[in-house]
Amino acid sequence: MTAKPATKTLIQTIYDGFAEGDMAKVTSVMADDIVWNEAQGNPYADLNPYIGPDKILSGLFSRLGGEWDYFHATPEEFIVDGERVVALGHYKAQHKTTGKEMDAPFVHVWTVQNGKLTTFQQYTDTAAHVDAMGE
């Protein structure tokens, strides 16, 4: 099943905003009480769950911006089932301290309610994250 145009546009907004470094655009589609979970084993899962846009910005996105020379999350396919949207894609990143690059697939599972993103769950190759970070 393919994404409905409005739902796909909503989800794409967050990826576009992140790619542009426009955090206002990213948070504009988030519910005030969004619950965000990084994959188990991901070094950034230490603060799971991130609740609300401010916690996501300060606890996750600021760390990504500070620790990586670049960190791209590129969705390649969207699948919709009711309020659930699954994004399949790839991360490409380079860590500032180690200089190591990462290329890892991801699956992001989003919940959309009343035109806002209410939950996020990440699935990815966490060993690739750990390796690139030298942890």
pLDDT value at residue 135: 76
| Count of domains forming the chain | 1
Domain with 65 in it: 5-133
Q: Give the pLDDT band of residue 1 (cuts 50, 70, 90).
A: very low
Please check whether residue 102 is in contact with residue 73, taking contact to mean a CB–CB distance below 8 angstroms: no
pLDDT at 73 over 50: yes
Q: What is the CA radius of gyration of the chain?
A: 14
pLDDT value at residue 2: 45
CATH of the domain at 27: 3.10.450.50
pLDDT at 5 over 80: no
pLDDT at 3 over 50: no
DSSP structural state of residue 39: P
The stretch 75-99 carries a mean pLDDT of 94
The stretch 30-57 carries a mean pLDDT of 97
pTM exceeds 0.85 for this model: yes
User: Which of 92, 130, 117, 93 lies closest to 37 in space, CA to CA?
Assistant: 117
Residues 6+ apart with CB under 8 A from 23: 17, 57, 61
The stretch 27-45 carries a mean pLDDT of 97
Q: Which single residue is written with the structure tokens 């969207």?
A: 78
